[in-house]
Amino acid sequence: MVSATQQSSRIRRRKARTAGTKTKRYNRAHGTPAFPVHPEGYSATAADAKPAEKK
């Protein structure tokens, strides 16, 4: 017979592992939400800004 601590630790670890698997599966199926890369008010001269479109 195992101790209560050992048993609860195993149960917690198992639940965390399955919860992570379910979350990963959900995120894969639903993708990432759409969000602006450079929100309004972002400086176009910043070092990581997108290059301006050439005409």
Band (pLDDT 50/70/90 cuts) for residue 55 is low
Confidence band, pLDDT 50/70/90 cuts, at residue 38: low
* Residue 36: predicted pLDDT: 66
Q: Look at the pTM and tell me if it is higher than 0.75.
A: no
Q: Is the pLDDT of residue 21 over 80?
A: yes
- 10 or 34: which carries more pLDDT confidence? 10
Both structure tokens of 1: 């017979």
Looking at residues 7-33, what average pLDDT do you find? 89
**Helix/strand/coil (H/E/C) assignment for every residue in the chain:** CCCHHHHHHHHHHHHHHHHHHHHHHHHHHHCCCCCCCCCCCCCCCCCCCCCCCCC
